């Protein structure tokens, strides 16, 4: 199976590992910064967030993913619900 395949090809535990691997890689590439508040965070405090939601055909590619701390992630979803 190719590493570039979409996460839908993974099941259960492997899907969870796929997300952790992606988050970990993006954490180191992007300097461990929350892309909402621009503060340095611990890796366990950051969540993968899609810019264009998967429900609106957003893809699991790096360009469509940002790392957000819990507070910024909650704010982002609150803003999206209000639209």
| Any domain includes 21 | yes
- DSSP label at residue 40: B
For residue 2, tell me if it sits in a domain: no
- What integer pLDDT is reported at residue 1 of this predicted model? 39
- Radius of gyration for the chain, computed over Cα atoms and rounded to the nearest angstrom: 13
- Structural domain span for residue 71: 10-82
Would the pLDDT of 4 be above 50? no
Predicted local distance difference test score (pLDDT) of residue 80? 72
- Those residues with Cβ within 8 angstroms of residue 58's Cβ, 6 or more apart along the chain or in another chain: 50, 51, 52, 64
CA 44 to chain centre: 12
* E strand map for 18-83: 46-50, 65-69
Total number of domains constituting the chain:
1
**Would 5 be classed as within a structural domain?**
no
Q: Which is more confident, 80 or 47?
A: 47
């Amino acid at each position: 199976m190719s590493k570039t395949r979409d996460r839908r090809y993974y099941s259960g535990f492997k899907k969870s590992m796929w997300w952790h691997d992606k988050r970990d890689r993006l954490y180191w590439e992007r300097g461990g910064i929350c892309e909402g508040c621009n503060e340095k965070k611990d890796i366990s405090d950051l969540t993968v967030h899609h810019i264009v939601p998967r429900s609106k055909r957003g893809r699991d590619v790096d360009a469509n993913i940002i790392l957000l701390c819990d507070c910024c992630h909650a704010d982002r979803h609150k803003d999206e619900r209000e639209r």
